[in-house]
Amino acid sequence: MMKTKLYFHNGFLFFYGLMLWLLFGACTSPAAEGIEIHKNTSQPAADLILEVGTKDSVFLVLKNTWGTTVITPSQRKASKVYFSFPNFIKKTAGSLRYQLHTENKLLESGSLNIIPSLDQPIQLETYLGPKNLEAGSAQKSMLIAIPTDAYDNPLPNLTPVVVTYNFKEQIITDTLFTSSLLAFKTIVPPTQTGQINWVAACQETTSNELFSQIYAASPVDFEIAYNQTHAFADGNQVIEWYTSVLKDVYGNTVSDGTLVSFEIKNRLDEYTKIYASTLNGVARAKAIHPEEPQTWTVQAQVANLAKSNPVQVYFKSAVSEIPVIYNAAQRSLKVGPILGYMGQKVPEGTRVSIRLMNAAEVVFESMATTRNAMVNVKFPANLYPLKEYALELKTLGAIKTLKIKNYE
């Protein structure tokens, strides 16, 4: 009868901390007749030693999550046979099934469990996302921690992971436990804005610091007001619109860069929009005064989420009189100097509308600009066969009409 002694060494060096929980003594099938199975802890780990009372050749079949591997003895001394496990098997936690064969006979079969190493510093991977959250919203974030051993094997379930976070100078610690590879914490955004700092630790290993940012929720309705130097429609000065501090329902100031649109409606129901971004919760937008008396109704809004009160602004004429001299002989028109509301010359480039009309139609129309508060126009003779025309001038809200005669 063949007599075989089977040894398995389970010391620390076997797979650098990956240990065998169930050894060959935990066989799933009865030992073959004449085979003795022993657990030897006094020998250097890394080899499976078989003491075989025969000269027949033997080999070992190993099956794990990587597949099936067949290994042959690495050394033979007298009646002892040595098997060395491949590194990828020694470093992979989980169930390992084995079969010991001769060329034509199954000598032994069973299974063992390789557990993760806890004798070396572990590795800790952490993930946080989404990192940007809206204050008080139903949106949630999650912190995930994955502790593994030195060979990237997940640690056993219920391994404690300590999570520490800091918000508004308050430091809070929470202990999580792994389940099926990982530990996680669901993050519900607070109603205050700010940055939350996170760190996770498992045994002696600590993660890098992670950050999540809590931003203000959508703004609520707000107010607008304006600043202006004067109320004259001079087409030159600037009116500035500004909002109150935009806040969300929790009182948080909205993020810098929030876009605000200012919608301006004039008395002809014509609309103009100007845009501005918030800084410290306030948006400021500027517009040039109109060139004629006007009433503006202005309302601001943020992407259909919040709106302001409507505000009306009245602009009055900046010019009360338009001096004009018409030279009939030369068909020339001299306009100006045009003076503003304080007797000052109007700005360079002020527009002056000129229309020449007969009883039936407009025969000449032009938009001239001032230079030194003056405008000079010469009418071509061949365009005006009739003897009498009406001339209309408009600038900065002032209107002047006069009759001119054609003597040719």
Residues 110-137 have pLDDT tens digits of 888 888 888 788 999 999 999 999 999 9
Give the Cα separation of 188 and 84 in Å (integer).
52
Residue (of 271, 267, 316, 263) closest to 295 by Cα position: 267
Q: Which two tokens stand for residue 240?
A: 């500035």
Q: Report strand pairing: 35-39 vs 4-8.
A: parallel
Distances (CA, A) of 368 to 72, 231, 372, 402: 103, 24, 13, 18
Q: Which two tokens stand for residue 327?
A: 């030279």
Q: Which two tokens stand for residue 47?
A: 């080899």
Backbone dihedral region of 90: left (phi > 0), alpha (psi from -120 to 50 degrees) or beta? alpha
Tens digit of each residue's pLDDT (9 = 90 or more) over 350-359: 899 988 887 7
Residue 241's pLDDT is what? Answer: 96
**Higher pLDDT, residue 246 or 344:** 246
Q: Which two tokens stand for residue 162?
A: 């300590």
Tens digit of each residue's pLDDT (9 = 90 or more) over 245-259: 999 999 999 999 999
Which domains are delineated in the chain?
Answer: 4-115 (2.60.40.10), 123-215 (2.60.40.1930), 224-317 (2.60.40.10), 324-405 (2.60.40.380)
Q: Are 222 and 244 in contact (CB under 8 A)?
A: yes
DSSP 88-156: HHHT--EEEEEEEEESS-EEEEEEEEEEPP-SS--EEEEEEE--EEETT-S--EEEEEEEE-TTSPBPP
For residue 162, pLDDT beyond 60: yes
Residue (of 243, 221, 93, 111) closest to 156 by Cα position: 93
* Locus of tokens 């405008």: 375
Give the Cα separation of 113 and 10 in Å (integer).
12
**Higher pLDDT, residue 402 or 285:** 285
Tens digit of each residue's pLDDT (9 = 90 or more) over 391-406: 888 888 888 888 876 6
Instruction: Give the predicted TM-score (pTM) of the model.
Output: 0.69
Residue 336's pLDDT is what? Answer: 80
Q: Burial of 138 by CB count in 10 Å (0-12 exposed, 13-18 middle, 19+ buried)?
A: exposed
Give the Cα separation of 149 and 181 in Å (integer).
11
Residue 47's pLDDT is what? Answer: 44
The conformation of residue 345, written as its DSSP 8-state character, comes to: B
* Amino acid letter, residue 83: F
* Amino acid letter, residue 406: N
Residue (of 162, 144, 88, 153) closest to 120 by Cα position: 153
Give the Cα separation of 142 and 140 in Å (integer).
7
Residue (of 121, 127, 128, 185) closest to 155 by Cα position: 121
Q: Burial of 311 by CB count in 10 Å (0-12 exposed, 13-18 middle, 19+ buried)?
A: middle
User: Mean pLDDT of all residues in the chain?
Assistant: 82
Distances (CA, A) of 309 to 99, 246, 301: 84, 13, 9
For residue 175, pLDDT beyond 70: yes
